[in-house]
Amino acid sequence: GQNIDQPTEMTATEGAIVQINCTYQTSGFNGLFWYQQHAGEAPTFLSYNVLDGLEEKGRFSSFLSRSKGYSYLLLKELQMKDSASYLCAVRGMDSNYQLIWGAGTKLIIKP
């Protein structure tokens, strides 16, 4: 079957660094996406990886290892506004290339 695993919840301190992991098992691989979702709001696109390696975008970076079926989202210099859920989604090769969504990781930032 197809599956995406993320930790349910993480806690970090303002100003620190946090790494949110995502492991996946899908029928084929055609890209991995990270989204941020504040409570009650829409998911917003953060990053996209299709090749192995690190993609950096300001305070956020995303890493992919296709051979390990593994990705992480790295958030640096954490701010209180980073408190949100972070969703990992993978585009496989079947089901008409639909995104397969993880349940999300709720990140709580403490002062």
Q: ∠3-53-63 over CA atoms, to 5°?
A: 50
Contact pattern from residue 28 through residue 67 relative to other proteins, giving x for each residue in contact according to CB under 8 A and a dash for the rest: --xx-x------xxxxxx--x-x-----------------
Q: Interface with other proteins includes 92 (CB under 8 A)? A: no
- Give the C-alpha distances (Å, rounded to integers) separating 32 from 43, 67, 80: 15, 13, 26
Q: How far is the CB of 77 from other proteins (least distance, A)?
A: 25
Cα atoms in the Cβ-side hemisphere of radius 13 Å centred on 7: 13
Q: How far is the CB of 110 from other proteins (least distance, A)?
A: 20
Residue 58 to residue 53: CA distance in whole angstroms: 16
Nearer to other proteins, 48 or 70 (CB): 48
Q: How far is the CB of 73 from other proteins (least distance, A)?
A: 16
Residue 98 to residue 111: CA distance in whole angstroms: 38
Instruction: Tell me which of 16, 54, 103, 108 binds other proteins, using CB under 8 A.
Output: 103
